[in-house]
Amino acid sequence: MQGRGLPFRVATLLTGLLECLGFAGVLFGWTSLVFVFKKQHYFEELCEPDAGSLGNATGLDDCRAQDEQFSLIFTLASFMNNFMTFPMGYIFDRFKTTVARLIAIFLYTSATLTIAFTSTDTAVLLFLAMPMLAVGGILFLITNLQIGNLFGKHRSTIITMYNGAFDSSSAVFLIIKLLYDRASIKASFIFISVCSAWHVGRTLLLMPRGHIPYPLPADYRYGLCSEDSPQEEDKKAVGSKKLELQSEEFLSPKKETPGQQQAPSSFWSHAFSQRFAWHVVWLSVIQLWHYLFIGTLNSLLNNLASKDSALVSTYTNAFAVTQFFGVLCAPWNGLLMDRLKHKYQEEAKKTGAPAEAAALRSAVPSLALTSLLCLGFAVCASVPVLPLQYATFILQVVSRSFLYGCNAAFLTLAFPSEHFGKLFGLVMALSAVVSLLQFPLFTLIKGPLQDDPLYVNLMLVLLTLLTFIHPFRVDRECQRKASPGEVT
């Protein structure tokens, strides 16, 4: 089997899309799963009777401690989802695709089997299972992002499409919620566990043992039945790096002068750059908004709906359905970046400006648009009106699908491809530290603020305004590099 044929590459693309859509980001359907766990009375012993209120579906009124347990589980899982991306990115860079995917399959299957066999007495195992599910899922995404390298000019579009599929996979927990009356949560997660056989088959047949290089060599082949040996693959990787150094996308005319060859830059020189630091700020602030919203949505809906279980279920379903459309929203961001990249590079050829700056400039509108969408989502989320939540759900899914697709695409444009796994992991790990703030913020809202999130929301809206600094700085940097007097 040879990977050079278009049908084979399309099969890799479509099966990877299905994998991300069905498995990679299911953690973010947490709101639907919490609804099911509450039906099964998980952590219900933490609820306290309150004779002064009308009561809820469980007959116990004050369930703040129960909500805090679920919020803490999601906080831990979302933290591990990001923080472990750095070591997993290193494993992917160092040990390559097959090893990384086998680790992902082991973690994911262990997690789904653990969830399948939990009960009210062993609900504490969710603190172990959900982080493992998250880490396995993000590793599926990392290993699939390289598939964009197979399709050249459409690279950013495919990367953002995969990130959109990652977002849309949160709808899987909605399906489990809707099937709850007909199929137990145990049966649902056992079925997901059995699907691991499909992951293994895809790893061996449709994925490379090493990495997919960029730019792609003309005779590149991959898959179990290809004739590439590890040694030949390494030679091709070296060859692809030489091609990359000669590519107009990464070199200015001055660097193409005979006798001049720039030494490859180190990982740490990029990790400590201002460009990377502001990208971490941009991702961390916007992501904190999304994590806090997802982790506290069940509690928020209960408050706004006066603990009407049927109404909460309706809004929970609406939120999960909107999440599915992330796979349709995200590619538009990548398509915008690919079109602008081609346009700016054509202009750079005419003016003699560095092609690297032209490629990086294509990310500026997407960065700014993502910040603007998040600001709109943040403002809507700050208004405690139940019908307005539908608009909040729509802005949330569009903003989030743009966020992660733009994050991955920006890293491929702004930094060398040989450091992508480590830089992608590092930015996610650093943003994970910031995401830990969601639990103390939730505790603050439930405690001293007495379920009134107004002041917390206003603070986060102001922080969101800081994210506009990142696209502004990138644009200024591109202008400086494109100016005639700039030394490249």
If DSSP codes are grouped into helix, strand and coil, which group holds residue 386?
Answer: coil
Was domain 270-481 assigned CATH 3.40.1080.10?
no
Rounded distance, CA 88 to CA 83, Å? 9
Which 8-state DSSP code applies to residue 354? Answer: -
Q: Decide: 312 and 383 in contact? Cβ < 8 Å.
A: no
Q: Fold for 1-46+62-225, please state it.
A: Growth Hormone; Chain: A; (1.20.1250)
Of the candidates 331, 328, 24, the one whose C-alpha atom is nearest the C-alpha of residue 170 is 24
User: Residue 193: phi, psi to the nearest 5?
Assistant: -65, -40
Q: Domain boundaries in the chain?
A: 1-46+62-225, 270-481
- Are domains 1-46+62-225 and 270-481 of this chain identical in fold? yes
Of the candidates 159, 148, 88, the one whose C-alpha atom is nearest the C-alpha of residue 428 is 88
What are residue 62's DSSP bridge partners? 48
Written as tens digits, the pLDDT of the chain (488 aa) is 444 578 889 999 999 999 999 999 899 889 889 989 988 989 988 887 765 544 444 444 577 888 889 989 998 998 898 888 888 878 888 888 999 999 999 999 999 999 999 999 999 999 999 999 999 998 999 899 899 888 877 887 888 889 888 888 988 998 999 888 788 899 999 999 999 999 999 999 999 998 888 778 888 888 765 544 444 444 444 444 443 444 433 333 334 344 344 556 788 888 899 999 999 999 999 999 988 888 888 888 888 888 888 898 899 899 888 888 888 887 887 788 888 888 887 887 777 777 777 778 888 898 999 999 999 999 988 888 888 889 999 999 889 888 887 888 888 888 887 787 788 888 988 998 998 898 888 888 878 887 778 888 889 899 999 999 999 999 998 888 777 554 43
Of the candidates 158, 110, 119, the one whose C-alpha atom is nearest the C-alpha of residue 137 is 110
State residue 368's pLDDT score.
93
Terminal Cα distance for the chain, rounded? 44
Q: How is 34-79 classified by DSSP, letter by letter?
A: HHHHHHTTTTGGG-B--TTS---TTS--B-HHHHHHHHHHHHHHHH
| Residue 321 neighbours by CB under 8 Å, 6+ apart | 171, 174
Q: Decide: 220 and 4 in contact? Cβ < 8 Å.
A: yes
Cα-only R_g, the chain: 23
